[in-house]
Structure 1
């Protein structure tokens, strides 16, 4: 209970600090917000079909997004889904720029940056979500949606990965990555591109020997990647042999890639939150896509190998609503800055 109260205070502090910065930058202006038509859900769907297009900004894996595009366009053949994949440090500034200039390109976005979400909770960055799927009791709306705008889509789970051809004995814990045989062959991700990565490093420190472990890992000369997707690709190709952080890679394994995954003794996860953008050029299609993402068909497309926002999804490894919040003491403000600086001093 004490941790919950403490986290609540940290969230509020983050909201005040970041919201002030957004205001100074000219974000959250009084320009007209892009809203769907008034009326029934059928009216919104009809208007979405006339818009014929919707664009998604997402930090999710490309294979997941490919599955989503196929499933969505099958359910709504009159609407073309364009996917723009990137990392938080690329996509969130783009969203801010589109809001500042009132020239929206994206309609829906997905991110794991909880501090950014809470900072924008009372701004026009996102609009309220509509759609029958959000009211499905199985979705647990009260736990899943922040401020009526930011909806839990799924959750990424990180663990240890390895190339099964190059390292058949596998990785069971973080300490296994210190094997001298893996010198120069372990992949890690810079925490500069997302608070999510900071949170994972914080988790690793808590459970695997603290800062001393990171220093030992640095001595083993790991290779640094901007995100988990190129890291996973490098491991599958044999460019690296093992990874400190990667998702379970079910699509890659199903396709025959020689990769293994282990969550270890402790499990870490981060929620992906979706939002319909206040500058969406296709506000009705945005609502239809958001709603579809939390249907069973949408979840079956995005959640195998991850945490799903609905129970009973084949291949899902957890329920996203049960994943704990980030440790904002280290992922926000001066805590994040200090962690990144310390990380740079160790690994660079």
Structure 2
């Protein structure tokens, strides 16, 4: 069966070298042939922004479903992923097949540079139809919880990193409401929060929360919170009893922590940032790549990949929430001046 003609379009030249992107390949023409060819390819290299333990669990689940394919998932941060892929494209080579990342702006920048394959798996297409529920697909490229395929079907939302609040179950009982944690001085000196200066996601989260609860920044300053670089250290401190509660924390970081409860603000949709799947046109295993991203959109794949996150599909037992109950945001697409203003306001409130 002849492969689809997914040739590189345009000449990418990020450094002025004039080198073309890595040679484009494509999956077989029918899904039955994709599955058959994936077994023949037998291996797959994936780069993921999620932690190694999570990636290892996904590896095991996929290889159980497709034992003839050796899957390797390596962890890299979003900037490192884009830098490495750019370098490989400039050199005309490709060592990675699938990206599981968060940088929509980078994807959009290279959409016409021949970087990506169109995603063709039936379960990925069905998930998109399910979320749209008969509505026409949006074409502005901005992610929403009502669609999963974007950018000419080259970008797939695989799950959402849902943000809520958490508490130490020994110190705070019964489960608190979000607003009760900062409504008075009960938790003064016992509140944790992610440092808004470390990551723009943290600044955007608190900026959005301040829009929901005017005066939140000032209240946080009065509560003298402990600042953490990310949700990981914050959740560890929570489980150890160093703080009683943490505001705006990733549900996936809280999930494995003992003595920790987690919830979303019940008065509003849960805030969540999307995680994307991308199949590179330079993949040396184009069929196994399509098989893998399609598997991610099956109930079994969502059980593994969305564990601790907000799932794309409904009724996923391992997920913290489903796409129907979230409000999607992207830190990268928020006006940098607005992000800086939120950071400045928070720093003033926190006495920094």
CA distance in 1: counterparts of 2:18 and 2:196, whole angstroms: 30
Question: Could you tell me which of 16, 20, 24 is aligned with 1:30?
Answer: 20
Deviation at 1:98, TM superposition (A): 3.5
Q: Match of 1:53?
A: 43
Q: Match of 1:274?
A: 277
**2:210–2:217 CA contact under 8 A, matched in 1:** yes
CA distance in 1: counterparts of 2:17 and 2:230, whole angstroms: 27
Deviation at 1:250, TM superposition (A): 9.1
Normalising by structure 1, report the TM-score: 0.76
Residue 79 of structure 1 pairs with residue 69 of structure 2: yes
- Quick one: structure 1 residues 65 and 237, their matched pair in 2 at CA, closer, same or farther if it must change by over 3 Å? farther
SS of 1:127 mapped into structure 2: coil
- Quick one: structure 1 residues 33 and 296, their matched pair in 2 at CA, closer, same or farther if it must change by over 3 Å? farther
Aligned pairs (5 A) from 1:116-265: 116-136=106-126, 139-140=130-131, 142=137, 143-147=147-151, 148-174=153-179, 176-177=181-182, 179=185, 181-183=187-189, 185-190=191-196, 192-194=198-200, 196-209=201-214, 212-249=215-252, 252=255, 257-264=258-265, 265=267
CA distance in 2: counterparts of 1:342 and 1:133, whole angstroms: 45
Deviation at 1:64, TM superposition (A): 3.9
Deviation at 1:153, TM superposition (A): 0.7
CA distance in 1: counterparts of 2:288 and 2:94, whole angstroms: 14
Deviation at 1:223, TM superposition (A): 3.7
CA deviations on 1:36-83 (whole Å, 9 max, x unpaired) are: 343333333333333332232223355543332221010111222222
Deviation at 1:180, TM superposition (A): 6.2
CA distance in 2: counterparts of 1:86 and 1:166, whole angstroms: 36
**1:329–1:335 CA contact under 8 A, matched in 2:** no
CA distance in 1: counterparts of 2:227 and 2:17, whole angstroms: 33
Deviation at 1:316, TM superposition (A): 3.8
CA deviations on 1:299-335 (whole Å, 9 max, x unpaired) are: 1212344332223322445442764442679724444
Unpaired runs of at least 5, structure 1 = 1-21
- Quick one: structure 1 residues 117 and 28, their matched pair in 2 at CA, closer, same or farther if it must change by over 3 Å? farther
- Quick one: structure 1 residues 68 and 328, their matched pair in 2 at CA, closer, same or farther if it must change by over 3 Å? closer
Normalising by structure 2, report the TM-score: 0.75
Question: Could you tell me which of 82, 86, 90 is aligned with 1:92?
Answer: 82
CA deviations on 1:188-220 (whole Å, 9 max, x unpaired) are: 1446435x43432222111122xx422442454
Unpaired runs of at least 5, structure 2 = 1-11, 138-146
CA deviations on 1:115-154 (whole Å, 9 max, x unpaired) are: 3443343333322112221232664474211121111211
CA distance in 1: counterparts of 2:293 and 2:187, whole angstroms: 46
- Quick one: structure 1 residues 246 and 48, their matched pair in 2 at CA, closer, same or farther if it must change by over 3 Å? same
- Quick one: structure 1 residues 103 and 158, their matched pair in 2 at CA, closer, same or farther if it must change by over 3 Å? same
**1:49–1:79 CA contact under 8 A, matched in 2:** yes
**1:108–1:274 CA contact under 8 A, matched in 2:** yes
Bigger fraction of residues in helix:
1
Equivalences, count: 322
RMSD (Å), alpha carbons: 3.5
- Quick one: structure 1 residues 162 and 29, their matched pair in 2 at CA, closer, same or farther if it must change by over 3 Å? farther
SS of 1:312 mapped into structure 2: coil
- Quick one: structure 1 residues 192 and 181, their matched pair in 2 at CA, closer, same or farther if it must change by over 3 Å? closer
Question: Could you tell me which of 302, 309, 314 is aligned with 1:311?
Answer: 314
